[in-house]
Amino acid sequence: MIKEKLRYQYILFDFDGTIVNSNKAVIYALDQAAISHRGTPFKPEELESVLGKTLEEQMRFISLDQFQELMPIYRESYKNVRDAYTTLFDGCKEMLAQLKQLGCQIGVVSNKGSNGIRHGLELFGLIELVDVSISFNDVVQAKPHQEGVFKALQIMGVLDSERELTMRKVLFVGDSGHDLETAQNAGCDSVLVAWTLLDKERLMLKNPTYVIDAPMDLIDIVIESEIK
């Protein structure tokens, strides 16, 4: 018979661009902030430099001097369109449910604010599928620093003196260079989602452990089948 054994037990996800397709809403809000300051929206190559980063970093990209004034413009613009412009990537809810059924613990580690993460989880009925969420508000150092990963694992109750052993069971899933660097900094394996909006060839230079073309592909990575 075939017995299912978990290769990874603690699965951590980025949120925007990985679980939810908020790209249209995020880019709209970025453009509104940029237009208010310089009269022109973001160029595609500029988006490569800011997507996945904290809001402050994104606004500093537009203006080092006036980034604080730009942040509320972004927030208001984003809130105005987030429900209409945001969707769940096909297969993500089913994938999360399958991971839970297998006995995995699931976390979200994002540079998004806590209210935004909770709103998205509630909007798409994901609250019951996520054990812990770590936002920008919950850490001193945002991704790509590993603090959020370790904090999520501490809340799960699995990060102890055997950290190296624990990290072998951790998988970080994301769509940006920041996500892949976060996994490297934390000492865990990583998954790049092929539905990323960013340049995939450039992201491959970050050496993700795995690349998946569809959410359910993650199940095959997590499960280690043994013939008994």
**Residue 32 φ/ψ region, left for φ over 0, alpha for ψ in the -120 to 50 degree band, beta for the rest:** alpha
User: Whose CA is closest to 32, among 42, 23, 22?
Assistant: 42
Indicate yes or no: pTM above 0.85: yes
Mean of pLDDT over the chain: 94
Contact 10, 105 (CB under 8 A): yes
User: Whose CA is closest to 8, among 213, 209, 150?
Assistant: 209
Alpha carbon separation from 112 to 54, 84, 117 (Å, rounded) = 7, 18, 7
The domain ranges of the chain are 2-21+88-227, 23-85
Q: 2-21+88-227 has which fold? A: Rossmann fold (3.40.50)
209-226 per-position pLDDT tens digit: 999 999 999 999 999 854
195-211 per-position pLDDT tens digit: 999 999 999 999 999 99
98-134 per-position pLDDT tens digit: 999 999 999 999 999 999 999 999 999 999 999 999 9
Handedness of CA 135, 137, 143, 148 (dihedral sign): negative
